Amino acid sequence: MRSDYSPFFRSTVGFDRLLNLLDTASEQGYPPYNIERSDENNYRVTVAVAGFADKELSVDVKDRVLTITGKKDEAEKPAYLHQGIAGRGFERSFQLAEHVEVKAARLQNGLLHVDLERIVPEEKKPRRITINAPELTAIQGSKAA
């Protein structure tokens, strides 16, 4: 399903790049992937990499960009009578938010799971500031007799 974002182009200024990203996000491409959120600070990117061995895959992070690459060894390519399983090389990139780190990557049942965690430094975490107001004292009046 393709969404039409053209009404937003008419009423916004400077958000054209954001709207283009939304537009291309629906075009998933190869290989298909999922992005899951298990809690507030933990995420998982799962990429369908059927037919790839762990030595044919690489997971790299540079400048807050997670790049997953798959490259088949051309020397081992058999002579197919029919090839229905895509085994072509790929490169899939994901822009990581600030303070998101890759914790682990594992290959299981043809799916590559990359676990991510957002670790916000203590000085960047929101904190509540107490308001110190002057204490009000009651004015003691004298009783006139």
The answer to the question of residue 10 being in a domain is no
The answer to the question of residue 41 being in a domain is yes
The answer to the question of residue 144 being in a domain is no
The answer to the question of residue 16 being in a domain is no
The answer to the question of residue 110 being in a domain is yes
The answer to the question of residue 109 being in a domain is yes
Band of pLDDT at residue 114, cut at 50, 70 and 90 = very high
Looking up residue 59, the CATH number of its domain turns out to be: 2.60.40.790
Mean pLDDT value across the chain? 80
The number of domains in the chain is 1
For 75, the domain range is 31-120
Q: What is the pLDDT of residues 80-113, one digit of tens each?
A: 888 887 778 999 999 998 889 999 999 999 999 9
Q: Using H for helix, E for strand and C for coil, what is the string for the chain?
A: CCCCCHHHHHHCCCCHHHHHHHHHHCCCCCCCEEEEECCCCEEEEEEECCCCCHHHEEEEEECCEEEEEECCCHHHCCCCCCCCCCCCCEEEEEECCCCEEEEEEEEECCEEEEEEEECCCHHHCCCCCCCCCCCCCCCCCCCCC
Q: What is the pLDDT of residues 27-74, one digit of tens each?
A: 568 899 999 999 988 999 999 998 899 999 999 999 999 999 999 877
The answer to the question of residue 40 being in a domain is yes
